Amino acid sequence: MRLLLDTTYLLPAIGISVRNLPENALIKLIERKYRIFISDITIFELSAIGAKYIATERLTAERVSRGIKAIVHDDRITRVPIEDSSVLLTAFKLRKILDDFIDCLILSSAINQSDVLVTEDKRILDLEGRRVFTEIIQTINPKFNIRTLINILS
């Protein structure tokens, strides 16, 4: 199964722990033989979040940079380019129902390239069942689902 991971699950790689998220969540998914995808915008988002921690001296620039390099160079993680026309076109449609364009790009990348988006984002999870969202996925990837990590690992 192809899983596209939301940015949250990659934060531990740059040194940021997330409450109620096992630090080794990514490793567990890889060990279970899931094919892991991320949107290219996730690299930007990790950098932006890391920059906030660096500015407040809670992380070093080297730590964040090392983590991002590890993600980018890990052959077990496939990056989905945001400039792909199908990703952009779907993201533009999603913008009507989701106000954060970075989230639109991540969700669009998932719809176009994976079977499941794994996220803890309540705004994204709440899209399931909404008419406009259902219409979008029906035309692109009818079997697409949104799940939390606990749903995938259990």
Would you state the pLDDT for residue 22?
Answer: 84
Contact residues for 121 (Cβ-Cβ < 8 A; gap 6+)? 6, 8, 103
Would you state the pLDDT for residue 23?
Answer: 74
Q: What is the pLDDT of residues 92-114, one digit of tens each?
A: 999 999 999 999 999 999 999 99
Q: What are phi and psi of 101, to 5 degrees?
A: -65, -30
Q: What is the CATH number assigned to the segment(s) 2-153? A: 3.40.50.1010
Would you state the pLDDT for residue 81?
Answer: 97
Per-residue pLDDT of the chain (154 residues; tens, 9 = 90+): 999 999 999 999 999 999 988 878 999 999 999 999 999 999 999 999 999 999 999 999 999 999 999 999 999 999 999 999 999 999 999 999 999 999 999 999 999 999 999 999 999 999 999 999 999 999 999 999 999 999 999 8
- Domain segments of the chain: what residues? 2-153
Measured distance CA(132)–CA(53) in Å, rounded:
37
Strands in 22-150 per DSSP E: 35-39, 77-80, 116-118, 145-147
Q: What is the pLDDT of residues 23-39, one digit of tens each?
A: 789 999 999 999 999 99
